[in-house]
Amino acid sequence: MSASAPSHHFIYTDWNLIETQFDPEQINHKGTVFTIGNGYLGTRGSFEEGYPRALSATLINGVYDDVPVVYTELANCPDWLPLTVRIDGENFRLDRGEVLSYQRQLDLQRGILSRKVRWRSPKGKTLDLYFERFASLADQNVLALRCQVTPLDFNGSIAVSASLNGYPENQGYNHWEEIERGDGDGTIWLHVRTRSSHVELGMAAKLLLSGTEGTFQVTSVPGYPTVETTFAVAAGQTATLDKIVTVFTSREAQTPAHVAQEKLAQLSSYSQLQSAHIGAWEEVWQHSDILIEGDTKAQLAVRYNLFQLLVSAPRHDNRVSIPAKTLSGFGYRGHIFWDTEIFILPFFIYTQPKIARNLLTYRYHTLNGARRKASYYGYKGAMFAWESAETGDEVTPRWALPNQPYAEDIRIWCRDREIHISSDIAYAIWYYWQATNDDEWMRDCGAEIILDGAVFWNSRIEWNPKQQRYEIREVIGADEYHEHVSNNAFTNRMVQWHLEKAIAVYQWLCDRFPERAAELETKLGLTAKLRDRWEDMAANLWIPYDPTTGLIEQYEGFFNLEDIDLAHYEPRTRSMQEILGIEGANKRQVLKQPDVLMLLYLMRQSEEFPYNKEILQKNWDYYAPRTDITYGSSLGPAIHGILASDLGQSDEAYKLFLQAAMVDLEDVRGNAADGIHAASAGGVWQAVVFGFGGFKLTQEGPVATPHLPSHWQRLKFKIHWRSTWYDFDLRAEASEQKAEGKIQGVIFDLDGVLTDTAEFHYRAWQRLADEEGIPFDRQANEALRGISRRESLMRIVGDRNYTEAQLEEMMERKNRYYVESIQDITPNNLLPGARELLDELRAAGIKIAIGSASKNARMVIEHLGIADKVDAIADGYSVQLSKPAPDLFLHAAELLGLEPSQCVVVEDAESGIEAGLAAGMLTVGLGPAERVGKAHVVLPSLEGVTWEDLQSQLFGTAAGSRY
Ligand code: BGC
Ligand code: BGC
């Protein structure tokens, strides 16, 4: 785990992202991270009760509205989340009262976000709250939220109100005007319209109560319809509130408010909606999942990135695409870049081809915008927008407006010069076609995009009579640190490639679909003469490549710029452009992101010019050290990672892969609050499949030549290629240990084995006893080892008279003191030998679980900094029966996907050894034989213990044994 990771309070398991603490400072980073969606809309992970600084947002794909400077943006839609819980006049909020326990969890497998909180109100009432929400993947217009409330130490009345917030803002700007609102039959609804684009939206909601009886009341403040229920519950009784919401816009329904109400009336129960949703996810993962064994952090991170792509990808709409920040934040205003075609699309082409087709069809529908752009600049054909929205007209802002009074406005040149986008789209279309053989789509849509793009290039490319070559002047390449360049190798080669493919597509159309060819000839002005010119241009377009050195010059004159040594600027937390200024970066050989290397990457698949291993190595050695891979563009690391992997630099490759994979989870660049880095997420899929998996398409079909990171045991994924699914199940070379022993998992008890929290428990009990005036000391504490919380308290209070409620409260208080004090736990609190053994087990591909009775186990693990070494956690919440019952260890084995006989238990308590034996596992006891003598192997502690020792003692033999 990286040094900064623990502060994000995350635990990673195979499928679940778990947050163990609420930190108001991270509210907007986490708002992005906990985004859910269903391809139709995305909802940021804001809390139901609302916080003033939270950027809450629900973005519906394609719902754009005008806005100054950046032209158009995705309008933040009415918020469907608001739900407040009021007890005795006090609203539940995490920033008031006391949070006794907290856990938020994103279940990637089922697409469900949940939160479990134990909270004490300022007036001292304690309750458990459980929240859960999903955006139905089975029915895109349906959203559902559940809240369960259980009072713990009082009987009383609780009020819950559920609202629709018709005043959402895009950072201060409200795009909506209300048309109408209303209610009826316990439901509320809202009908609004965007101010300029006049997209109408209808949202309806109902609130259902179960577990107790209540009264309902509807209030309808302008723009904020609310339904409230008041009910009585007794201590220990759970009330369940289901808020079901429907949403439609005029993009898919003529009368969206009406349709939303009708739909709402027809919906089944929360649990039925949920099962349909889970079923839909199951289907998606069947094709799109990647399984990684031996690296839980990578496993979770990869699934997380794929999840975020899947929730933002249009499933039923081909007039929208995936914005650079998905539907998860305000960054880049919902605009669409080359990020989709080059970074994101491969994941969809090879695992969800229908979605890939939707994404590409968006470019077909925006062709007219691209034509308007070409004609505005005095060219012909289709010149695609660098930043695109609904119509395909250019929406890259012309100016960046500073917020300092005397700073100058900055002209953004990407709209005028970053023209490689047109060929990037052609590239994506070509590979979609190759992978799917979707001739029909190619005939109807793809060909026209490629051909009209070539028409544009024909008008854009210049002939240089002096040099007798074609050139492309005044562009911005992939590397945006250099804004006024000519003959950028990346652009020129991509254009050349585009022309080559245009000629092939034109020929194919003439052969296969002569009618369509004739139609396009008329529409686009295609002639035999034009085709000859494309050929001439493709043959004579200059690529600045020097065969004597193997080096490609990024653009004409790049090598004359002042050189730079990036090491001199380390350590840094800002981009090189911020450090040097725009002009400073322009003047130096420093790159924001791969450019020549990006070109090599794109030509790698087909091994076309200029790709070959030697050229790659030469150019890698030159450009990688000059690229701002940490704070330049987030598009860089995944691509560099793949190339590093090709060049045999596996440690570097893995490091770069993690940099991409953790960009949002761990906010590696400090800007995750703006939204998910979608291109990086797509790059992560490519890094795993193309990089580590070594997946390539050959004449004979797909093949994989894996270069797995050394600790990965297995990598499994599916690829769809020309109507067939290919399963790749790549395993690391069976290690010696695996061949030798049957043991595949080790389950560690936590306390007394990996760490010692006895002191922290002691201090908490002591503080409680002092407050209650009960005598207690260290010696008395000794008798509490391995004893449950309740039993310990009973021993402390002895025969003093306390009511059950008082006892409950005291246990709560002790736990609170304990939880407070374990915040001080650091990796230094690991017991000697623990880290070494964990690392060794991981390297040997042995799975690791925690089997601890503690309800705080997750938090302790996180503070110890070993969360990324652990594959599964069975804790105080996992099972009913405690040790010596075998249940907890059996549960841990199940989580690991292993048979009990494949597991070893490491324990320091007698009851733990008994539990391990009862579970049919091998056992290692730590401590005196009087306590753990029943174990198969008894050791004083983990200090100096190696996996080899353990195996030799357990089996009496060893692989390459020292004995
Ligand atoms: C990006 C450009 C983008 C511009 C305006 C810059 O930060 O690098 O690609 O066009 O912002 O949104
Ligand atoms: C990158 C572009 C990218 C854009 C949107 C910019 O910072 O330089 O390559 O398309 O961000 O992600």
3-state secondary structure string across 800-812: CCCCHHHHHHHHH
C-alpha to C-alpha distance for 826 and 6, rounded to whole angstroms: 10
Q: Is 751 annotated as a binding residue?
A: yes
Q: What's the whole-number mean pLDDT along residues 624-646?
A: 98
- Computed over its alpha carbons, how large is the radius of gyration of the chain? 31
Asked if 32 contacts 45 with a C-beta cutoff of 8 angstroms, the reply is yes
Mean pLDDT over 168-174 rounds to 94
Distances (CA, A) of 81 to 165, 261, 284: 8, 18, 26
Contact at 8 Å (CB) between 713 and 294? yes
**Does the beta carbon of 412 lie inside 6 Å of ligand 1?**
yes
- Pocket of ligand 1 contains residue 396 by CB under 6 Å: yes
Structure tokens at 659: 């940099």
Please give all residues whose beta carbon lies within 6 A of any atom in ligand 2, as ranges. 324, 332, 337-339, 480, 592-593, 633, 635, 679
**CA 635 to ligand 2 centroid distance, Å:** 7
pLDDT category of residue 119 using cuts at 50, 70 and 90: very high
Can you tell me which atom of ligand 2 is nearest the CA of 479? 8
- Distance (Å) from CA 333 to ligand 2 centroid: 13
Each residue's pLDDT tens digit, 217-249: 999 889 999 999 999 999 999 999 999 999 999
Is 595 annotated as ligand-binding? no
Exposure on the CB side of residue 374, measured as CA atoms within 13 A: 23
Q: What is the per-residue pLDDT across 918-941, written as a single tens digit (0 to 9) for each? A: 888 999 999 888 888 888 888 889
Place of tokens 């110890």: 864
863 Cα to the center of ligand 1, angstroms: 38
Strands 462-464 and 695-698: unpaired
pLDDT > 70: percent of the chain: 97
Mutate which of 312, 333, 337, 396 for ligand 2? The one with the most ligand atoms within 8 Å of its CB, which is 337
The ligand with the least distance to the CA atom of 414 is 1
339, 751, 871, 875: the active-site residue: 751
Q: Is 749 a catalytic residue?
A: yes
- Which whole-number Å values give the CA distances from 737 to 88, 669, 839, 894, 958, in the listed order? 61, 39, 15, 22, 9
* CB of 495 closer than 8 Å to CB of 510: no
* Structural domains in the chain plus CATH codes: 10-286 (2.70.98.40), 312-406+413-731 (1.50.10.10), 736-755+828-958 (3.40.50.1000), 758-824 (1.10.150.240)
The reply to whether 459 sits in an annotated binding site is no
As a whole number, mean pLDDT of residues 895-903 equals 89
DSSP of 317-372: -SS----TTTTS-SGGGG-B-HIIIIIIHHHHHHH-HHHHHHHHHHHHHTHHHHHH
Residue nearest to atom 9 of ligand 1 (CA): 414
Cβ partners under 8 Å of residue 518, min gap 6: none
Tokens standing for residue 167: 């005043």
814 neighbors 856 (Cβ within 8 angstroms): no
Is residue 575 in contact with ligand 1, taking CB distance under 6 Å? Answer: no
Ligand 1 touching residue 480 (CB < 6 A): yes
- pLDDT at residue 4 is higher than 60: no
Q: What is the rounded CA–CA span in Å between residue 56 and residue 421?
A: 32
Name the region of 941 (left: φ>0; alpha: ψ -120 to 50; beta: rest): beta
Q: Which mutation among 475, 628, 633 tests ligand 2's pocket best, with the greatest number of atoms within 8 A of CB?
A: 633
369 lines ligand 1 (CB under 6 A): no
Place of tokens 């907290």: 102
In the predicted structure, residue 454 carries a pLDDT above the cut 70: yes
What are the C-alpha distances in Å from 603 to residues 495, 536, 609? 13, 21, 7
Q: Tokens standing for 869?
A: 């070494």
Q: Atom 2 (ligand 2): residue with closest C-alpha?
A: 633
User: Which of 672, 458, 631, 555 is CA-nearest to residue 28?
Assistant: 672
Could you tell me if 144 and 273 are in contact, meaning their C-beta atoms sit under 8 angstroms apart?
Answer: yes
Mean predicted confidence (pLDDT) in 912-917: 90
Q: Which residues contact 724 (CB under 8 A, 6 or more apart)?
A: none
Ligand nearest to the CA of 397: 1
Convert 692-729 to b/e letters by CB count within 10 Å (16 or more is b).
bbbbebeeeebebebbbbebbbebebbbbbeeeebebe
Active-site annotation holds for 751: yes
Which of 333, 339, 416, 480, when mutated, tests ligand 1's pocket best, judged by the most ligand atoms within 8 Å of its CB? 480
What does each C-alpha distance from 324 to 312, 321, 335, 470 come to in angstroms? 10, 10, 6, 33
Rounded distance from Cα 640 to ligand 2 centre (Å): 16
The catalytic position among 65, 438, 749, 875 is 749
Q: Quick one: tokens of 137?
A: 């993947």
Which one-letter DSSP state was computed for residue 687? I
**What's the full length of the chain, in residues?**
963
Q: How confident is the model at residue 789 (pLDDT cuts 50, 70, 90)?
A: confident
922-926 and 903-907 strand pairing:
parallel
**Partners of residue 704 on adjacent β-strands:** 695
Q: How confident is the model at residue 15 (pLDDT cuts 50, 70, 90)?
A: very high
Per-residue pLDDT at 803: 85
Best residue among 343, 386, 396, 592 to mutate for probing ligand 1, ranked by most atoms within 8 Å of CB: 396
Q: Where residue 740 falls among pLDDT bands split at 50, 70, 90?
A: very low
Distance CA 831, CA 814 (A): 24
* Residue in 192, 207, 228 with CA at minimum distance from that of residue 85: 228
Q: Is 270 helix (H, G, I), strand (E, B) or coil?
A: helix
Proximal ligand: closest to the CA of 333: 1
